[in-house]
């Protein structure tokens, strides 16, 4: 799997939905990110020109919100909860097992083949299921509950079968 080339037509399609106005920057960026799974660098000058705003403003919005990513992400995004309940019930060994199995680290969060991204989140809102993690990219997104590190390889096998 490789990073798809940027297509300005994607921005045009999203702008048709939300309108070419400066108040639509967030949904436009969300639409572009939905297509690419991140915001390619070409997005900023393209959106700025089409909305008649500065590139710095578009970039500022994209970097302000944690939900936007400027780095390519994997097909499957694994969000390991490290909220209080999950942390106390040992979510970090699950995180370390994912990283070990996928050859990732705290700084390298996406596999080279763009199959998996592993990241921590402050809380999934599933404290009674602790320790939990969520996988996005499958249909539908799925929350795994009461997970132990021994279960991680089986989950990865399940996801690899869907690649």
Per the annotation, does 46 bind a ligand?
no
Q: Are 163 and 116 in contact (CB under 8 A)?
A: no
**Hey, is 118 helix, strand or coil?**
strand
Residues contacting residue 66 through CB under 8 Å, at least 6 positions apart: none
Q: Are 155 and 102 in contact (CB under 8 A)?
A: no
Per the annotation, does 81 bind a ligand?
yes
Could you list the beta-strand ranges (E) of the chain. 76-81, 116-121, 133-136, 142-144
Per the annotation, does 123 bind a ligand?
yes
**From the annotation, which residues make up the binding site for [2Fe-2S] cluster?**
81, 86, 123, 127
């Amino acid at each position: 799997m490789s990073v798809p080339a940027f297509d300005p037509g994607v921005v045009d399609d999203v702008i048709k939905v939300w309108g070419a106005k400066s108040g639509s920057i967030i949904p436009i960026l969300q639409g572009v990110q939905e297509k690419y799974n991140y915001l390619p660098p070409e997005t900023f000058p393209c959106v700025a020109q089409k909305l008649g705003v500065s590139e710095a403003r578009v970039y500022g919005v994209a970097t302000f919100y944690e939900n936007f990513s400027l780095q390519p992400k994997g097909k499957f995004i694994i969000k390991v909860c490290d909220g209080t309940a999950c942390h106390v019930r040992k979510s970090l060994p699950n995180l370390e097992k994912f990283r070990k199995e996928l050859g990732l680290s705290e700084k390298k969060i996406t596999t080279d083949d763009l199959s998996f991204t592993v990241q921590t989140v402050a809380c999934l809102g599933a404290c009674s299921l602790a320790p939990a993690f969520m996988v996005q990219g499958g249909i539908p997104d799925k929350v795994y509950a009461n997970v132990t590190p021994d279960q991680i390889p089986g989950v990865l096998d399940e996801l690899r079968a869907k690649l």
